[in-house]
Amino acid sequence: MRFGQTLICFITIFSAVGYQRLYASATERAPLDRPNFVLIFIDDMGYGDIGPFGSTQNHTPHLDQMARQGRKLTSFYVASPVCTPSRAALMTGCYPQRIGLQRGSGHIVLFPGDHHGLHPNEVTVAETLRSAGYATGCFGKWHLGDQKPFLPTSQGFDAYLGIPYSNDMWPSLKRFQCPELPILKGDKVVDTVKDMDAQASLCKRFTNAAIDFIRQNKAEPFFVYLPHAFVHAPRQASADFMQNADTVEEAQVEEVDWSVGQILETLRQEGLSDNTLVIFTSDNGPAGGLSAGPLRGRKGSAYEGGHREPTIAWWPGTIPAATRSDEIITALDIHPTLAKLAGTSVPKDRTIDGHVNTGVLLGHPDARSPYKHFFYQQGGKLAAVRAGDWKLFRNGELYNLRSDLGETNNVAANHADIVQQLQQLFIEFANDIQDNSRPVGIFENSRTLTPRRGIDGEDAFIPTLKLPLRN
């Protein structure tokens, strides 16, 4: 199928949803000897923002302990340096270009009422695990489409409580005319984020919902996806964290650390820690006052700071304690790897870019990454490729990441042969995407989930990007 966008009418979308429900319609839960999974996905946290990855500003005792008891993954990559495409890759195991979500319909990410979203025919990690008998819950920021067929409960999750897109997409966003920021339970709006105090409550609200789900489903295998709104702007943390921090960024990081501690303690209390894999990572590099540590680049960049994320894997008794790996592992691997651990597999009828990467993740002796190369994007376009220690940008910059992690010394002039070899990978990737891509989801007559302030009737629900920008 040629790369591009295919219009999906209303009936087609809901037919596809029906297909997915059939795919994930297991009536019996998996045996209890299958592991549980908890995936904690932070928003805009940089490589240098937590103690295990070198932060001296932010106090992160729970993450420090998680690293001592688990495994640091120092070369964990996301597929994009911004929210929507990064999350699309995480859910599907596919580069965002392959599924038409390398950008939103009118912006680099999806906005309220966008008619684009994750195609209902895509199979998410939640659908794969639910089909294997897992209870599945999502608590936090989704950002893969806010129309009903695109929401988590239409994409494999039994339960959902969260915001459908970034927490800065609300009336205070100066350039855009955004509606009230909704909080959804399932596919229904149950509340709105009205002020900064409500922003501050999101971390605890989502954490508590995840804990409730774990306790309610402890008798059966479960998958908990906890994509926090923190540490994304507009930044505000709970008062008990704000009062002890020098900056709001510090307060937010430390509240996220608290959240991790609450999740791990719940697993211990419920006797689940020895049978639960917990993965902590971030969706892209840092923004604002957050830190990429030794890496060059930040959110939105194809330099390492935009794609390489602080990642810890924890599974007492299975993952060896206090270990680390610099082997490449990526968000693309989450879907096929969790499927493998659950005793199932990803769909065989489509291209999946991620790998089963259990050896690196779990710390098997002498484990090596299956990656021969990994592709970076910037601005929704292919921007760079890594093969071994070498990283080539489309603009011709070449770096050796083993000797130059900070990407400060462009050595392209001294390695014309390497440049030529890696340039060929760009061509092969583009051809593969052209020949093996799938359409983005499109929902006709989309509308925002909540109205804009002070506007009556349907005009209050016009998709944000169909309105003019503010001066």
Top CATH class, 10-385+425-464 = alpha beta
Q: Which residue is catalytic, options 83, 138, 178, 203?
A: 83
Can you list the pairs that 410-416 forms with residues at least 24 positions away whose Cβ atoms lie under 8 Å?
Answer: 415/390
Q: What integer pLDDT is reported at residue 33 of this predicted model?
A: 79
Q: What integer pLDDT is reported at residue 18 of this predicted model?
A: 40
* H or E stretch covering 190: strand 188-193
| Rg (alpha carbons) of the chain, rounded to whole number | 21
What is the domain partition of the chain in residue ranges?
10-385+425-464
Q: Which residue is catalytic, options 143, 232, 307, 355?
A: 143
pTM as predicted: 0.93
> What tokens does 287 get?
């923004």
Burial class (CB in 10 A: 0-12, 13-18, 19+), 328: buried
The Cα–Cα gap between 142 and 128 comes to: 18
Q: How many CB atoms lie within 10 A of CB 203?
A: 23
* 83-95 burial code (b ≥16 CB/10 A, e <16): bbbbbbbbbbbbb
Q: How many CB atoms lie within 10 A of CB 431?
A: 10
Residues of the chain with pLDDT under 70: 1-32
138 is catalytic: no
The Cα–Cα gap between 225 and 129 comes to: 12
83 is catalytic: yes
- The pLDDT tens digits of the residues spanning 162-208 come to 999 999 999 999 999 999 999 999 999 999 999 999 999 999 999 99
- Alpha helices, H only, 270-390: 304-307, 334-341, 358-362
Contact assessment for residue 66 and residue 314, using Cβ atoms and an 8 Å cutoff: yes
- The pLDDT tens digits of the residues spanning 402-419 come to 999 999 999 999 999 999
